Chain A
Amino acid sequence: MAIEVRIPTILRSYTGGEKAVEGKGDTLADLFADLDARHGGLRERLVGGDGSLNRFVNVYLNDEDVRFLGGIETPVSDGDVVTILPAVAGG
């Protein structure tokens, strides 16, 4: 078992066009590092220089926004589904 990560269209250039990829880790930060080993550059689109989640993406653990859980340190486990969506906002 692994963690399924659903990738939005805008980031599929990092996954060879795949809509979903698998990874592992104990936290979201670990998971993104694991993904980055196979999909170089992906982590940089999700995490800012200060290590927190990029404001241009929303990340959900199962169906919950991780900002309301533990942010980048949210624990994850096998069988979880992580969904990444581009935030829709503007001025």
Chain B
Amino acid sequence: MLRIRQDLVDEIVAHARRDHPDEACGVITGPAGSDRPERCIPMLNAARSPTFFEFDSQDLFRLYRDVDDRDEEIVVIYHSHTATEAYPSRTDVQFGSLSPDSHWVLVSTRDPDEVEFRSFRIADGEVTEEPVEVLAASPLSEAAPESSPSQ
């Protein structure tokens, strides 16, 4: 189960719309061990492609250093599909298996009016869709202590 605030969902969708027809990608980080997405970090798609995405390697290095320095983890890895459904492709499964601890969020922008927003776990080449619970947007400093950790 992915629990995610409405404003973060909106931010991902806005990023995906902005970069359409190329795929958009990014992460949401949160406190280490919390499984709670809090800080959305849009990343550059180094492939600048409608069918592929890739974090620039130097950006990735800086991202990990930043996440470590802040004692955070990468809770969500997101990207968009621009002509197909929001379901992991074969390439997604290959790369996603390397990040089994992150929720793999997919957004499809194939329809200009409707949004598909889905979340998956990918591990050992297996895809498992999970429910998404959207929480009301709220100031995170107040909300954080009350949020329950993932089960």
Of the candidate stretches A25-33, A35-43, A70-78, A80-88, the one touching chain B is A80-88
Given contacts A10-B98, A56-B98, A86-B98, whether A91 and B92 have CB atoms under 8 Å apart is: yes
**Interface membership of A51, Cβ < 8 A:** no
Tell me, in angstroms, the Cα distance from A86 to B74 when the chains sit together. Answer: 12
- Of the candidate stretches B10-18, B57-65, B111-119, B133-141, the one touching chain A is B57-65
Chain A residues lying within 8 Å of B55, measured Cβ to Cβ, are 87-89
Which residues of chain A have C-beta atoms less than 8 A from B58's C-beta?
A: 65
The answer to whether B94 and A88 have CB atoms under 8 Å apart is: no
> B91 contacts the other chain (Cβ, under 8 Å)?
yes
Q: Which residue of A lies closest to B100 (CB)?
A: A10
Known A-B contacts A9-B101, A85-B64; A67 and B57 likewise in contact (beta carbons under 8 Å)? yes
Q: A90 with B92: in contact, given A10-B98, A10-B100, A56-B98 (CB under 8 Å)? A: yes
Given that A88-B55, A91-B53 are contacting pairs, would A56 and B95 also be in contact in the complex, using a CB cutoff of 8 Å? yes
Q: Which B51-104 residues have a C-beta within 8 angstroms of A?
A: 51-55, 57-58, 60-61, 64, 77, 79, 88-92, 94-96, 98-101
Chain A residue, CB-CB nearest to B62? A63
Q: How many residues of B contact A (CB 8 A)?
A: 28
Q: A60-B57, A63-B61 are in contact. List 10 more A-B contacts (CB 8 A).
A: A10-B100, A56-B95, A57-B98, A85-B60, A87-B60, A88-B60, A89-B54, A89-B95, A90-B53, A91-B52
**Could you list some 19 contacts between A and B, CB below 8 A?**
A8-B98, A10-B98, A56-B98, A58-B60, A60-B57, A60-B61, A63-B61, A65-B58, A67-B57, A88-B43, A88-B54, A89-B54, A89-B91, A90-B53, A90-B79, A90-B92, A91-B53, A91-B90, A91-B92
* A contacts, CB < 8 Å to B: 8-10, 56-58, 60, 63, 65, 67, 83, 85-91
